Amino acid sequence: MAVYNFDEIIDRNGTNCLKVDALQERYGSSDLIPLWVADMDFKAPPAVIDAIIKRAQHGIFGYTRPSQEYHDSIRNWLDKHHDWQIKQEWTSFIPGIVKGIGFVVSCFTDRNDKIIIQPPVYHPFRIIPTLQHREVIDNELILKENRYYMDLEGLKKKIALGAKILILCNPHNPGGRVWTKQELIDLAEICYDNNVLVISDEIHADLAHKGHKHIPFATVSDKAAMNSITFMAPSKTFNIAGIVSSFSVIPNQKIRDKFHAYLESFELEEGYIFAYTATQAAYQHGEEWLVQAKEYIWGNIQFVDNYLKENIPQIKAMIPDASYLIWLDCRDLNLSQPQLEDLFVNKAKLALNTGTMFGKGGEGFMRLNVGSPRSILAKALAQLKDAVNNKLQK
């Protein structure tokens, strides 16, 4: 069995890396440890790298089409890892999940229609519909004992306002919740009975930690399957976000035909050479790498949690069921959000995502990406400890 080195520090400066090369623009300083953008500082699986190199060495990059092996790799992966037996015709390439959400909003709603989101949640869920002149309605999650729950009673009231779509983050970002089957069944029931289409963003599906199992929304009931569009990708799983490799899964033929016709009208369903190549290689040969990556990430999560408890008890980690993102509860510092951001950026020299980016309920929180070598996290936490101690002494 190969052993992969996740402790290796790889310099990403000067590679047009968003999390590094945009620091000055986004945070006003380039001298920060970047722990914000949701990609990892680990090399992709060797099988993916080798497949891309082999394809590149061919030297001709003409018009392309997906192979049968590409389609089979997706179906086999979903069957093995998520107990979801899909048909090939249910799927389509899409050029990014956020873009896919935008396509669904454009295809299935009109100007001023209402879209429901459940904040605090991934910020494009709000941004994309708003830019398309849709009204975004918040059904805020319930925070109980450092864990998020859906407000299903509140959802019923919000749906009564006439919503057309609900955007579900499954698993949740930034809280890391893997929703239970019953939670998803209840959500599906409410949305189906009120003719509210569910977009299920499942980009973190493969990153569920031990003791938790991701459940695709469309698998929990017939109502869920017949009233949803699921978006998935190998991008977060295998750290290939820069290779656009997303796809949709739609069991309902009527919904599928409408959405696929929309994609085809712009040739948006046409994928890219390296998207097909990387996806197939990752799903066929990346499992061993993923097992070790998840073990390393879980070790990082435990490291952060223990460090905070021992050294910065004013900051509490919400332990994620899935993903390499930790939602930090900083409310016991008694700082305003601008003061909290100043503490992290200007005092601790760290670039995290500010909690208010994720909407209501994000006040007093920061999002930390632990998909990095542990030595980097240790340095970052030491800097945060010093910053907090200096703040408290004043």
**pLDDT tens-digit readout, 185-244:** 999 999 999 999 999 999 999 999 999 999 999 999 999 999 999 999 999 999 999 999
Query: Sorting pLDDT into bands at 50, 70 and 90, what band is 391?
Result: confident
pTM of the model: 0.97
Smallest Cα–Cα separation from 329: which of 351, 355, 307? Answer: 355
d(CA 165, CA 111): 13
For residues 314-321, average pLDDT: 98
Sign of the dihedral defined by the CA atoms of residues 131, 198, 196, 96, in that order: positive
pLDDT of residue 1: 77
pLDDT at 394 over 80: no
For residues 286-298, average pLDDT: 98
Which structure tokens are listed for 307? 């460090």
Count of H helices and E strands in the chain?
A: 15, 15
pLDDT of residue 257: 98
Q: What angle do CA 54, 58, 64 make, to 5 degrees?
A: 95
Asked if 101 and 201 touch (Cβ cutoff 8 Å), the reply is: yes
Query: Going by DSSP bridges, is the β-strand pair 135-138/114-117 parallel, antiparallel, or unpaired?
Result: parallel
pLDDT of residue 201: 98
pLDDT of residue 392: 79
pLDDT of residue 89: 98
**pLDDT tens-digit readout, 46-103:** 999 999 999 999 999 999 999 999 999 999 999 999 999 999 999 999 999 999 999 9
pLDDT at 374 over 80: yes
- What is the amino acid identity at position 132? Q
Asked if 200 and 228 touch (Cβ cutoff 8 Å), the reply is: yes
pLDDT of residue 346: 98
**pLDDT tens-digit readout, 242-277:** 999 999 999 999 999 999 999 999 999 999 999 999
> Which residues is 234 bridged to in the sheet?
none
Domains of the chain: 18-45+287-389 (3.90.1150.10), 62-285 (3.40.640.10)
Query: Sorting pLDDT into bands at 50, 70 and 90, what band is 393?
Result: confident
**pLDDT tens-digit readout, 2-60:** 899 999 999 999 999 999 999 999 999 999 999 999 999 999 999 999 999 999 999 99
d(CA 218, CA 305): 33
pLDDT of residue 43: 98
Output the average pLDDT for the chain.
97
